[in-house]
Amino acid sequence: MKTTLTPTAVMIFKTNIETEQDLNKIARILKSERNILRWNVDREDIDRVLRIESENMNRTEIQQKVEHAGFICEELAD
């Protein structure tokens, strides 16, 4: 039997968050989001992967926020 607690969802996106400035911009948005438990951008990777751990936000909500800030944000499929 698996745990009945809400499992944390890990969402992975391809972005164009490249510079320190970009990172600061996205940080301001994501930090204010209470439903995001953890996040990071791997700027070393070619896909500038944005990784988000959240309990109750969905993919579309996040995508909209990131895109609204002026970045590309596409879901990376499994």
Binding residues for another protein, rule: CB under 8 A, are 7, 9-12, 40, 42, 44-47, 49, 51, 76-78
Residue 10 or 27: the one with the smaller Cβ distance to another protein is 10
User: Least distance (Å) from another protein to the CB of residue 31?
Assistant: 17
CA atoms within 13 A on the CB side of 66: 26
Residue 5 or 46: the one with the smaller Cβ distance to another protein is 46
User: Least distance (Å) from another protein to the CB of residue 42?
Assistant: 4
**Residue 65, number of CB atoms within 10 A of its CB:** 18
d(CA 7, CA 5): 6
